[in-house]
């Protein structure tokens, strides 16, 4: 963390719509609060497996609620997440592993692209309802995030390397060590200890705990 700034880590996976909501709000606040925001791409599937958690949409009543909840949250946070019943099947039927390895590769080589690239994956999956698991999809996302085709090719090659696979695995294990059981997981480091906040609806509480002001989802 920069001198005197509090380290706040955001563990996320682009398959998670709540992660997108939390990501955008923290992006807005990183210039308002005295924090050093670190994006930590991790694999939600690995966290679910390690903790015995199940996708919330597998419970019909919860799925029904999630549809309403995500729509309300998207409007409140002003993030273009759109969701329908079909999306639950889409999420369960596709793996985000390739996408998260690609994002991990950019984090390791060109971190300045990490924010725009992650956002483009969410836009493709949660606004445009397109696939993110095929190479063509990854190429389209990378182009939209401003990556050159040379860099994109290099990153695609990296995704199958042990270095990238291990890095994603380590980040995922780190999130679990902090107590994560789902995404997003926000970890604030203050008073010499890590403090975990789960979900995108605890950012007001995060502000209160770290002694910052909550100015609403879209600070003016």
Q: Name the residues annotated as catalytic.
A: 16
* Bridge partner residues of 6 (DSSP): 35
C-alpha 122/C-alpha 40 separation (Å) is 15
25/22 Cα distance (integer angstroms): 5
DSSP states along 94-109: S--HHHHHHHHHHHHH
Q: What are phi and psi of 198, to 5 degrees?
A: -100, 135
CA distances from 147 to 26, 114, 150, 160 (A): 23, 11, 8, 19
């Amino acid at each position: 963390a920069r001198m005197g700034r509090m380290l706040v880590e955001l563990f996320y996976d682009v398959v998670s719509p709540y992660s997108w909501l939390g990501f955008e709000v923290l992006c807005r606040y990183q210039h308002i609060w005295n924090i050093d925001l670190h994006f930590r791409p991790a694999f939600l599937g690995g966290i679910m497996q390690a903790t015995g958690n199940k996708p919330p949409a597998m419970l019909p009543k919860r799925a029904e609620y999630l549809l309403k909840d995500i729509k309300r949250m998207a409007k409140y946070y002003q993030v273009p997440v759109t969701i329908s019943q079909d999306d639950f099947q889409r999420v369960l039927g596709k793996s985000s592993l390739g996408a998260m390895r690609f994002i991990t590769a950019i984090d390791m080589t060109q971190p300045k692209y990490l924010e725009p690239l992650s956002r483009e994956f969410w836009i493709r999956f949660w606004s445009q309802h397109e696939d993110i698991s095929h190479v063509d999809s990854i190429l389209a996302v990378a182009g939209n995030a401003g990556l050159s085709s040379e860099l994109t090719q290099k990153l695609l090659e990296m995704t199958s390397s042990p270095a990238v696979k291990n890095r994603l695995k380590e980040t995922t294990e780190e999130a679990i060590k902090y107590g994560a059981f789902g995404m997003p997981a926000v970890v604030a480091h203050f008073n010499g200890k890590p403090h975990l906040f789960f979900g995108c609806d605890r950012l007001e509480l995060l502000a209160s705990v770290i002694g910052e002001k909550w100015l609403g989802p879209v600070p003016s």
